[in-house]
Chains A and B, each alone.
Chain A
Amino acid sequence: MKQKLFTLGLIAVVFTLVISACAPAAEAPAVEAPAAEAPAAVEPAAAESNEEPVAEAPAAEAAPVEQTAVIGFTASLTGKLNVESTRQNNGFALWMEDVNEAGGIKLADGSVVKFESKFYDDESNKDRVQELYTKLVTEDNADFLISPYSSGLADASAVIAEQYGKIMVTTGAASDGTYQKGYTLVYQAYTPASHYLTGSLDLLANYDPAAKKIAIIHENDKFSSDVATALEAYALEKGYEIVMYEGYDSGTTDFSPIINKIPADAEAIMGGGHFADGQQLAKSISEKGVTAKFISLLVAPPEPTFAEIGAAALGIVGPSQWEPLAAFTPDFGPAGADFATEYTAKYGEEPSYHAAGGYIAGLILQKGIEQAGSLDPTAVKAALDSLDMMTFFGRIKFDVTPENHGLQIGHDMVYVQWQQVDGGLVKQVVWPLAGKTADLLYPR
C-alpha cells in the first residue's frame, strides 16, 4: 500500500515538474507574440505623431523598430529546370540584397521591414512543391511566397498559398490556367501565354495596316496550341484572315511538307513552339524561299544560339518576357541597364529574362508593401490589386476580376527581331514602341 502511495506521489511530483518545465517554454512564443504585434501597438503612436512634428519621438527615430519579413519559395536547384530556376533565384537574391542594403522598407507605423528568404530545393518535381510550400508556411512562418520556376510547379504551389492565406507572386510561369481557379492572393509577374503572339499582330498592324492574311503554324503541345488559339481569336477579332492553321508534332525536323502548304498570298507567318522546332522552321522557311513579309515565332528567336542558322535568322521576330536592351523608363525600381550591370558583376553572366523575372517578383512585393504601409496581407492585397507601375521589366498591372484574378495584364511581351548591323546579326527590340531599340525590318 505504502509502495503504491509512494509511486503515485512520485508520479504526481514528476508530472508537476514536467508541467512547470513546460510552462515557460509554452509561454515563450507568447512573449514573442507581443513583439511581433509591436507594430500594431506602435500604430496609434505613429498616427498621433503624424499630427505633430516628430520632435517627441527622437528615440524612435534613432532606432526604428526593425522587423524581418520572411519570403518563402522553392527553387529547382536540381533536375531539369535547374538552369532557368537558378537564374530566377539569382535575380530574386539580388533584389533582396538591394532592398536590404537600401535600409529596407519603411512602413506607415515608422518601423522598418527587412527581408530574409527561406527556400528549399524542389528537385524540379511537382510533388515536392506542395509539401515544401506547406512547410514554408506552417513551420518557417513565411510572410510572403514566391512561386517556383515553370508554369507546372507554380500552379502546384499556388494552391498552397491560397489555402494558407499567403500572398504569392508567381514568376517564371506564363500559363493562364492558374488564375482562372478563383484564387485571390496569387499575382502573376509574367505575360500570360495567351498574349505571347498577340503583340506581333499589333506590331504588324503598326507597320503595315494593309497586311491581313496570316498563316498560323504551331507545335501540337499544350503551350503552343494555347498560344495559337489565343492568336487566332485575336486575329479574327481584329479583322485578319487566317489563310492556314496547321499544327505539327513535337520533334518535327522536316518542315518542307508543311511549308509547301503555305498559300502563296500569306503575308505573315506566326506560330512555332519551342527552341529546336522553331529554329528549324525558320531555317526551312528561308531555304524554301517563302515570300511572307513578316514572321513571328515562339521561344526560339530570343535565344542567342538562334543565330546559328545564319542568314535564315534575319528578319525573324520573336516574343520575350524581357530583354536586357529593352529601353523602358521605370517609375519604380532600378533601370534595366543598372540591373544588368549589377547582375553581370555579381553572377558573371548577362541576365536572362528568368533572372529579371526573379528580381521583378521581389519588386512587386516591395511596391505592394510600400503602398500598403504594412505587412498585413489584406492591406498588401489591396495595394497589389490597385498596382500599376512601370519597371525595367515593363509595365505591371493585375486583373482583379473574379474570373481572372491575379492575371498579368499590364506587362507586354518584348518583341525582338534579328537584324543586320555592321555585317553581323544582332537582336533588336522592335516592340513595344516604348522599349524599342530599332525600327522593324519590314518586309523582312
Chain B
Amino acid sequence: MNLVTIITALIDGLLIGVVYGIAAMGLNLIWGVMKVINLAHGALISLGMFGVYLFFNGMGIHPYLSLIIVAALGLLMGIFIYYIAIARVINAPHLSTLLATFSINMIIIGLGTAIFTTTPRDTGFSLGTIEIGPFNILGTRLVAALITILVTALLYAFLYRTNTGKHIRAVSNNRAAAELMGIPSNRILALSFGIGTMLAAIAGALIATFFSFTILSGEVYELKSFIISVLGGLGNPLGALLGGLILGVLEGALPLAMPNTWVPVIEFVLFIIILLIKPSGLLGDRK
C-alpha cells in the first residue's frame, strides 16, 4: 500500500464526512433546542434526495438550483410538521415526541414507497473528476463539501449574529426564562424544527448528486447521524461536523487495513468509548 492510496482514502473520507456532518447537524439542532429525537430525520433526508431528482430529472432544473428550492421546501415542511405533530406533545414525556416523529417517518416512508416504489433512482448528474497530481477528486463530492461548509457558516452566523438566532439559543438554554423575557417560544421551536428539517433536506439533496437512492436510503444516514451527534457533542452543530469528519475518515481509511465489514465494529467501539469517558461528546457542554 502506498502513500497515494492512503491520501486518496483520507480525501474520500473527509469529503463524505462533511456530508455526514450536515445530515447530523439537523438532528443535533432539533435535539439541542427542543429535546426531541427526530425519528423522521432519515425519511426527510430521503425526501431531499427525491426533491433534487424530481426537479432535475423531471423539470431540468440544475441540481444546485434545485437544492435551494429543496431547502426552502424543507424549511416549510419542518414548520408544518412541527405545528401538526410536535407542538401538541412538546411538553409531554420524550416517548410521546419520539412516537410522533416515528409516525411522521412511517407516513413519509409509506407514501414514498407507494409513489416512488423502492426501485433505486439516480440523478445521473456528474461534474467529472478533478485531477490534482496523482489524486482524483469527484467534482460533485467536492462541491457538496464546499456547500456544507458554507451552510454551516451561515447557520453559525444566523445563530450567533441575529436576534432570531439569539432567541433560538435562549429557548434552547432555558425555555421558561426565554418565555418570561417575551420570546415567542412556540414560534422559535417551529423555526428550529424547520431549520433541522431543512438541513436534512440539504444533506439528502447533496447525497443525491453522487449516490443512487431509494425512499429508504435516508435510514443509513439517520443512524450515522445519531453516532455522529453523540461523538461530536449533542446540541452542538459544530460538534456534528467534527463527528461527521471523524466518521468519514474512519470509513475511508480503516478498510485499507482490514475487511471493510469490520468498520462498523470499530465505529461502535469508539462510540461506546466516547460514552464512557466523555458522555457529552467531544465538543459537548459539560453538564
Also in contact, A276 and B220, with CB within 8 A (given A220-B261, A260-B5, A260-B12):
no
Distance from B266 Cβ to chain A, minimum over Cβ atoms (Å): 13
The answer on a CB contact under 8 Å between A261 and B211 is: no
Binary A-proximity of B203-226 (CB < 8 A = 1, otherwise 0): 000000011111001001000000
Interface size bracket, B side: 20 to 34
Bound together, the chains give a CA A279 to CA B211 distance in angstroms of: 9
Of A8-16, A47-55, A283-291, the one with at least 4 CB within 8 A of chain B: A283-291
Also in contact, A261 and B124, with CB within 8 A (given A247-B261, A254-B16, A287-B138):
no
Of A161-169, A302-310, A326-334, A346-354, the one with at least 4 CB within 8 A of chain B: A302-310
Binary B-proximity of A283-319 (CB < 8 A = 1, otherwise 0): 1000111000000000000000100111100000000
The answer on a CB contact under 8 Å between A257 and B211 is: no
Contacting A253 at CB < 8 Å: which of B8, B217, B264? Answer: B217
Bound together, the chains give a CA A287 to CA B136 distance in angstroms of: 9
Contacting A246 at CB < 8 Å: which of B210, B254, B259? Answer: B259
Give A76-112 interface residues, CB cut-off 8 Å to B: none
Closest residue of chain A to B118 (Cβ to Cβ) is A276
Bound together, the chains give a CA A276 to CA B120 distance in angstroms of: 6
The answer on a CB contact under 8 Å between B122 and A256 is: no
The answer on a CB contact under 8 Å between A248 and B212 is: no
- Interface check A423, CB cutoff 8 A: no
Distance from B11 Cβ to chain A, minimum over Cβ atoms (Å): 9
The answer on a CB contact under 8 Å between A260 and B261 is: no
The answer on a CB contact under 8 Å between B16 and A258 is: no
Bound together, the chains give a CA A31 to CA B140 distance in angstroms of: 78
The answer on a CB contact under 8 Å between B124 and A308 is: yes
- Across-interface contacts of A283 in B (CB, < 8 A): 122, 212
- Interface check A120, CB cutoff 8 A: no
Bound together, the chains give a CA A305 to CA B213 distance in angstroms of: 13
Distance from B10 Cβ to chain A, minimum over Cβ atoms (Å): 10
Binary A-proximity of B249-260 (CB < 8 A = 1, otherwise 0): 001111110011
Distance from A201 Cβ to chain B, minimum over Cβ atoms (Å): 24
Bound together, the chains give a CA A279 to CA B212 distance in angstroms of: 8
Contacting B12 at CB < 8 Å: which of A257, A275, A276, A279? Answer: A257
The answer on a CB contact under 8 Å between A254 and B211 is: yes
Distance from B25 Cβ to chain A, minimum over Cβ atoms (Å): 19
- Across-interface contacts of A209 in B (CB, < 8 A): none
The answer on a CB contact under 8 Å between B251 and A257 is: yes
Also in contact, A247 and B259, with CB within 8 A (given A256-B12, A257-B252):
yes
Distance from B13 Cβ to chain A, minimum over Cβ atoms (Å): 8
The answer on a CB contact under 8 Å between A309 and B212 is: yes
The answer on a CB contact under 8 Å between B124 and A276 is: no
Also in contact, A289 and B12, with CB within 8 A (given A248-B261, A254-B251, A276-B212):
no
Give A240-295 interface residues, CB cut-off 8 Å to B: 246-249, 251, 253-254, 256-258, 260-261, 275-276, 279-280, 283, 287-289
- Across-interface contacts of B129 in A (CB, < 8 A): 287, 289
Closest residue of chain A to B263 (Cβ to Cβ) is A257
Distance from A62 Cβ to chain B, minimum over Cβ atoms (Å): 55
Bound together, the chains give a CA A276 to CA B122 distance in angstroms of: 10
- Across-interface contacts of B254 in A (CB, < 8 A): 257
- Across-interface contacts of B13 in A (CB, < 8 A): 257
Also in contact, A261 and B255, with CB within 8 A (given A287-B138, A288-B136):
yes
Binary B-proximity of A128-151 (CB < 8 A = 1, otherwise 0): 000000000000000000000000
- Across-interface contacts of A256 in B (CB, < 8 A): 9, 12, 16, 252
The answer on a CB contact under 8 Å between B122 and A279 is: yes
Distance from B224 Cβ to chain A, minimum over Cβ atoms (Å): 11
- Across-interface contacts of B255 in A (CB, < 8 A): 257-258, 260-261
The answer on a CB contact under 8 Å between A279 and B120 is: yes
- Interface check B121, CB cutoff 8 A: yes
Contacting B260 at CB < 8 Å: which of A246, A275, A287? Answer: A246
Bound together, the chains give a CA A140 to CA B261 distance in angstroms of: 49
The answer on a CB contact under 8 Å between A308 and B261 is: no
Distance from A272 Cβ to chain B, minimum over Cβ atoms (Å): 13
- Across-interface contacts of B164 in A (CB, < 8 A): none
The answer on a CB contact under 8 Å between B220 and A251 is: yes
Contacting B124 at CB < 8 Å: which of A260, A280, A289, A309? Answer: A309
By Cβ-Cβ distance, the 9 closest A-B pairs, closest first, are: A257-B255, A276-B120, A256-B12, A308-B122, A253-B211, A310-B124, A280-B212, A260-B9, A279-B212
CB within 8 Å of B: which residues of A?
Answer: 220, 246-249, 251, 253-254, 256-258, 260-261, 275-276, 279-280, 283, 287-289, 305, 308-311
30 A-B residue pairings within 8 Å (CB atoms)? A247-B259, A249-B260, A253-B212, A253-B217, A254-B211, A254-B251, A256-B9, A256-B16, A256-B252, A257-B13, A257-B256, A258-B255, A260-B5, A260-B12, A261-B256, A276-B212, A279-B122, A280-B211, A280-B212, A283-B122, A283-B212, A287-B129, A287-B138, A289-B129, A308-B121, A308-B122, A308-B124, A309-B124, A310-B124, A310-B126
